[in-house]
Amino acid sequence: MLPRSFVKILAAAVVYAVAFTLHATARQSLADDHVDSLMLSHKIVSLDGPDAYSDSYVDSVKGLIENFYYDQFRHFQDPDAPYFLFLSKDAQLAMGIGGCVRMRGYFDWGGAIPAGGFAPYLIPMHSDPTHIKHFDTTPAGTCLFFRVIGRNKMLGNYQLYIEANFNGYQSRDFRLKKAYAVINDFTIGYANSTFSDPAATPPTVDAQGPNNKIAPTAVLVRWMPVVRDRWVFALSAETPSPQIDADNELSAKCDNWLPDWAAFAQFQWAQGQHVRLSGVVRTLSYRNLMTERNHNMAGWGVQISSVAHPLPCLTTYINASYGRGYQSLGGDLLIGNYDLVADQAEPGRLYAPRSYGWNIGLQYNFTHGVFASVTASQTRYCPKGAVPSDVYRRGQFYAVNLFWNMTPRMQIGAEFDLGCRQNFSGESRWARRLGAMVQFSF
């Protein structure tokens, strides 16, 4: 049975989507105005010297660049399109090498979170006089990427994308983040899961973001057709990475032997505005060492999400998820092993616990280059039976920030984060953080 709070959020999301669809403003939003300014900032380098002033040429260039910014899986913190685009004479192929230099600084007080990302799960429950205040900086999020977008008579539309970030050991190691190919309706490679909706995640300075952010990346094969420009459907098979709480004494984790299956149905009424219902089904396998038998448990999750511009100056974000055994796909519970956990009533037996969460964000643009946003998010863990008192029960996340795009390619931001962790004992503790960021895209 679905929890009442989740049902209320689900109902609100449906009403919200219908209302904004019926009363969508005819004027372009200020957020889209910023995208337009980014598109005008590109330097087009022609390989064959075409007539750059023909209408067909200009339209083709604009169409190719728009694909960078109106991607179904683009997140606010993703890098902008490359400043330099190399274009073929017929405007059927665009190639760019770009990146983002991003620096963050943050200050915690009243109890420091031992991580660069502000995750309520990590809030220390007991005061430590050596970790009351903390200041740090990180270049994590600095990245380089390579992208090709083109059209071909035989293949149709296609693109190739590779991105690597400096976010490994000590936030300085170079690590692969994405690597995929898109050919018409098919995506093959290491990409955002079909179960995720990055565009519906509110903007934050903090890299972690809302504590219910569902944002897994996996090697996958996805089919995603667009029907009459309004409907988008997707189905994918994805490489699983379950997190199972097996102790190797009473129970043991088995090898993965089936992919995760994810799908969504989306209605979009304008570029960058949609409502989406997505789901995932997983096979979670373990061995009961007491009975010496293997078991295959079903994990699943559902999610409703949306991003919209009800007014030219306003952008709204909403997300709510619920399920069993889907915890490793994002949010606070990604930090632990919660897809399968021990059944306290039967040694050696594991089960898939319930959890749910939501996040809501509101962005207000003073101009297309200056905007502020507020975010509220919560994750709730709902195991059955008695559990140890120090187990995480609920996490809350709140943020308010201000961003200024000084130029189309340079952005600064400041943010206040507030989080709370509550255990099953009833004990809770709050954490606070001030963060700032500066980034330059090229």
pLDDT of residue 22: 45
Highest mean pLDDT among 41-50, 95-104, 359-368 belongs to 359-368
Quick one: how many helices (H) and strands (E) in the chain?
A: 3, 23
DSSP secondary structure string for all residues of 205-235: SSSS-STT-B--EEEEEEE--EETTTEEEEE
Task: Please give the Cα distance from 23 to 355 (Å, whole number).
Answer: 34
Q: What are phi and psi of 27, to 5 degrees?
A: -80, 140
The pLDDT tens digits for 279-323 are 999 999 999 999 999 999 999 999 999 999 999 899 999 999 999
53 pLDDT more than 60: no
243 pLDDT more than 70: yes
Task: Please give the Cα distance from 364 to 70 (Å, whole number).
Answer: 20
Cα distance between the two ends of the chain: 49
DSSP secondary structure string for all residues of 315-342: EEEEEEEEEES-GGGBSGGGGS--SBEE
DSSP secondary structure string for all residues of 113-139: -SSSS--GGG--SS--GGGS-EEEEE-
- 8 A C-beta contact, residue 297 and residue 303: no
Confidence (pTM): 0.87
DSSP secondary structure string for all residues of 189-201: EEEE-TT--GGGS
Residues 6+ positions from 101 with CB-CB distance below 8 Å: 139, 142, 439, 440, 442
pLDDT of residue 171: 61
Mean pLDDT of 153-176: 80
Query: Which residues lie across from 46 on neighbouring strands?
Result: 87
Residue among 105, 191, 178 at smallest CA distance from 140 = 105
The residue whose two tokens read 């037996």 is 349
Task: Please give the Cα distance from 153 to 141 (Å, whole number).
Answer: 37
52-56, 260-264, 361-365, 393-397: range with lowest mean pLDDT: 52-56
Say how many residues make up the chain: 442
User: Higher-confidence residue: 10 or 433?
Assistant: 433
Q: What is the DSSP letter of 254?
A: P
Gyration radius from the chain CA atoms: 23
User: What amino acid occupies position 350?
Assistant: L
DSSP secondary structure string for all residues of 351-413: E--EEEEEEEEEEEESSSSEEEEEEEEEEEEE-SS---TTSEEEEEEEEEEEEEEEETTEEEE
SS3 12: helix
pLDDT, the chain, mean: 86
Residue among 143, 151, 37 at smallest CA distance from 94 = 151
User: Higher-confidence residue: 87 or 246?
Assistant: 246
- 8 A C-beta contact, residue 403 and residue 425: no
122 pLDDT more than 50: yes
Mean pLDDT of 254-280: 94
Report the percentage of the chain scoring pLDDT > 90: 57
